[in-house]
């Protein structure tokens, strides 16, 4: 199990979909903007998410992506695994090339640790994360405001679109 910015992008994007389930579907362009990454790169990530059957895409105007399952059926571990395509060459995997002695034990211990981590993240669903109390407060605070805003000084991005 690995955890990089790639996995983070995937998880936050999936959270975005989970938060906007009522909207039907969310366009990648919107997510790309809020995450500050390129549309094409996001598309590549979503290609993997789609192959893992975590999301479904809808083409045409008004289209976008939505979750392929209920939020409670999508674990964080599943999302990270989908985009990570782990080749996992943890050296001596059941091979004798590693000294059969104590040194190989450390690799086994890492495997155990990695598995613990995976189980931990497999036990957390999108629904769990969305429902975390700490965040609810923020969400409710959001509901009070109606303005759509951008996370970052607006001058940095997109001065073209004045969609409303």
Sites of contact with DNA (CB under 7 A): 4-6, 9, 26-29, 36-38, 40-41, 43-44, 46-47, 50, 57-65, 87
Nearer to a second copy, 58 or 105 (CB): 105
DSSP state of 41: H
139 binds a second copy (CB under 8 A): yes
Partner interacting with residue 79 (select from a second copy, DNA, none; CB below 5-8 Å by kind): none
Nearer to a second copy, 73 or 128 (CB): 128
Partner interacting with residue 70 (select from DNA, a second copy, none; CB below 5-8 Å by kind): none
Residue 66's H or E segment, with its range, is strand 64-67
120 binds a second copy (CB under 8 A): yes
Partner interacting with residue 22 (select from DNA, a second copy, none; CB below 5-8 Å by kind): none
Please, what is the minimum distance in Å from the beta carbon of residue 163 to a second copy? 14
Inter-CA distances, 143 with 14, 24, 27, 140, 163, Å: 20, 19, 21, 5, 20
Tokens of 89: 């060459």
Tokens of 9: 């992008």
* Contact assessment for residue 83 and residue 49, using Cβ atoms and an 8 Å cutoff: yes
Partner interacting with residue 147 (select from a second copy, DNA, none; CB below 5-8 Å by kind): a second copy
Nearer to a second copy, 48 or 125 (CB): 125
Question: What is the C-alpha to C-alpha distance for residues 160 and 72, in angstroms, rounded to an integer?
Answer: 38
Please, what is the minimum distance in Å from the beta carbon of residue 158 to a second copy? 13
Question: What is the C-alpha to C-alpha distance for residues 27 and 122, in angstroms, rounded to an integer?
Answer: 27
Query: CB within 8 A of 35, min separation 6: which ones?
Result: 9, 12, 13, 42
The site map against a second copy for 87-116 (x = CB under 8 A) is ---xxxx-x-xxxxxxxxxxxxxx-xx-xx
């Amino acid at each position: 199990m690995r955890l990089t910015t790639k996995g983070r992008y995937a998880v936050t994007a999936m959270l975005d979909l989970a938060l906007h389930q009522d909207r039907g579907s969310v366009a990648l362009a919107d997510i790309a903007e809020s995450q500050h990454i390129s549309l094409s790169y996001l598309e590549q990530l979503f290609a993997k998410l789609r192959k893992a059957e975590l999301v479904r895409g809808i083409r045409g105007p008004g289209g976008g992506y939505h979750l392929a399952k209920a939020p409670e059926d999508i674990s964080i571990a599943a999302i990270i695994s989908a985009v990570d395509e782990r080749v996992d060459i943890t050296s001596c995997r059941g091979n004798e090339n590693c000294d059969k002695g104590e040194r190989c034990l450390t690799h086994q211990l890492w495997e155990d640790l990695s598995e613990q981590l995976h189980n931990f993240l497999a036990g957390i669903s999108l629904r769990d994360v969305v429902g975390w109390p700490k965040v609810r407060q923020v969400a409710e605070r959001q509901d009070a405001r109606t303005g759509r805003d951008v996370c970052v000084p607006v001058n940095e991005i997109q001065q073209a679109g004045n969609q409303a």
